[in-house]
Amino acid sequence: MKTLSKLIALIVSVVFISSSAFSLELKFGHVGKPGSLFHESVEHFAKLANSRLGGKAKITTFGSSQLGKDKQLLQKVKLGTVNFSLPSSVMSSVHDEFGVFDMPYMIKDRNHMAKVEKQVLPGIFKNLESKTGYKVLAVWENGFRQITNNKRPINTPSDLKGIKLRTPKSKWRVKMFQTYGANPTPMAFSEVFTALKTGTMDGQENPYAQIASAKFQEVQKYLSISNHVYTPAYVVVHKDQWSKVPADVRKIVEKAAQDTQGFVYKRAAELEVSLLKVIKDAGVKVNTANRDAFVKGSAAVYKQFGDEVPTGNALIKKVSGLAK
């Protein structure tokens, strides 16, 4: 009887090991910390996709730059060691047309963004895929960006003069803040808290969800509500690697990624209210920047983008036209 029990246990274990061995794991790496919009978005997506996948595959998530920073993650997606990443501003360094979303005050609100997604982004995505192999499964959000620093409140562009400001690795974000008179430096998100704490950087610019989840309110004195850039985020795979995933799995995952957008936009709007309170309650002094002064001070950046990017002027005209 004992021998029979052992045999049954052995068979069960072999079946379990075999089924695990044939299970398809899809890794989603991102830079968001717990409590960030990125973290909540990815977790919602993984839960939704896994509930629909059954035993076909399983999505596992790795936040807080565990699998690498943005550029490293994109390289790993290309190589196939990571299946998905969630880049935002860094995409302008992958394909120049994404720089249109680095133009100050380009996106008015989420209704405007919805029109841009339908009428402008398909063309950009097609060019991205043909030139780089990266494929966008869905558009999510990083959000409207605000400025924090330890020097002074920022009301007009001139208030930024000389401020050492961390930016993402986006050349147009750097050019924007250079135009305003700041001293911008691209830096990986995972390095920003220490840079602010030690004084290597005076300030940074990010949406509330990134500011609060990374606890920048603990090392910054001033928050200036500028809404200077709205940054979409993109669920990215690489076509060569993605084509190796079974077609039925791809279909389920792509639909789940697109269906997650509603959650992302709703949650983003909620966080804009609740996290501003968190930042204020931490003792950070808050002011609202002069939008008109920043719009006026941004003309040179628009001109440079139009001059340097072949489709730049056409993109600016088309995107801004959809705000009406």
Q: Examine residue 181 and state whether it is found in any structural domain, yes or no.
A: yes
The mean predicted confidence, pLDDT, of the chain is 93
Domain that holds residue 56: 24-321
Please count the helices (runs of H) and the strands (runs of E) in the chain.
14, 11
Q: What is the pLDDT of residues 131-142, one digit of tens each?
A: 999 999 999 999
Domain count, the chain: 1
Q: What is the pLDDT of residues 42-93, one digit of tens each?
A: 999 999 999 999 999 999 999 999 999 999 999 999 999 999 999 999 999 9
**pLDDT average, residue stretch 286-305:** 97
Nearest CA to 128 out of 102, 169, 101, 98 is that of: 98
pLDDT tier at 324, thresholds 50, 70, 90: confident
Q: What is the pLDDT of residues 141-185, one digit of tens each?
A: 999 999 999 999 999 999 999 999 999 989 999 999 999 999 999
Gap between the Cα atoms of 215 and 147, Å rounded: 14
Gap between the Cα atoms of 237 and 74, Å rounded: 8
Evaluate if residue 4 carries a pLDDT over 90: no
Question: Which residues does 69 contact at the CB level (< 8 Å), separation at least 6?
Answer: 31, 188, 189, 190
Evaluate if residue 130 carries a pLDDT over 80: yes
Q: What is the pLDDT of residue 44?
A: 98
Evaluate if residue 189 carries a pLDDT over 80: yes
Beta strands 222-225; 146-149: pairing state = antiparallel
Q: What is the pLDDT of residue 16?
A: 37
Q: What is the DSSP string of 141-202?
A: EEEE-EEEESS----SGGGGTT-EEEE-S-HHHHHHHHHHT-EEEE--GGGHHHHHHHTS-S
Question: Which residues does 66 contact at the CB level (< 8 Å), separation at least 6?
Answer: 29
Gap between the Cα atoms of 23 and 253, Å rounded: 15
Nearest CA to 40 out of 108, 86, 88 is that of: 86
First-last CA distance in the chain: 79
pLDDT tier at 116, thresholds 50, 70, 90: very high
**pLDDT average, residue stretch 117-143:** 98
pLDDT tier at 17, thresholds 50, 70, 90: very low
Q: What is the pLDDT of residue 23?
A: 79
Q: What is the pLDDT of residue 75?
A: 98
Gap between the Cα atoms of 159 and 138, Å rounded: 37
Q: Examine residue 238 and state whether it is found in any structural domain, yes or no.
A: yes
pLDDT tier at 264, thresholds 50, 70, 90: very high
Q: Examine residue 4 and state whether it is found in any structural domain, yes or no.
A: no
Q: What is the pLDDT of residue 21?
A: 42
Q: Examine residue 198 and state whether it is found in any structural domain, yes or no.
A: yes
**pLDDT average, residue stretch 181-209:** 97
Contact assessment for residue 73 and residue 66, using Cβ atoms and an 8 Å cutoff: no
Evaluate if residue 225 carries a pLDDT over 70: yes
Evaluate if residue 210 carries a pLDDT over 90: yes
Measured on CA atoms in the order 257, 49, 213, 92, is the torsion positive or negative?
Answer: negative
CATH number for 35: 3.40.190.170
Instruction: Pull the structure tokens for residue 164.
Output: 């050492």
**pLDDT average, residue stretch 194-220:** 97
The structure's pTM equals: 0.90
Q: Examine residue 12 and state whether it is found in any structural domain, yes or no.
A: no
Contact assessment for residue 49 and residue 248, using Cβ atoms and an 8 Å cutoff: no
Please name the residue that has the structure tokens 């990083």. 142
Q: What is the pLDDT of residue 195?
A: 98
The torsion region of residue 80 among left (phi > 0), alpha (psi -120 to 50) and beta comes to left
Q: Which strand ranges, in their side-by-side order, compose the sheet holding 58-62?
A: 58-62, 25-29, 84-85, 230-238, 134-144
Residues paired with 27 in a beta bridge: 60
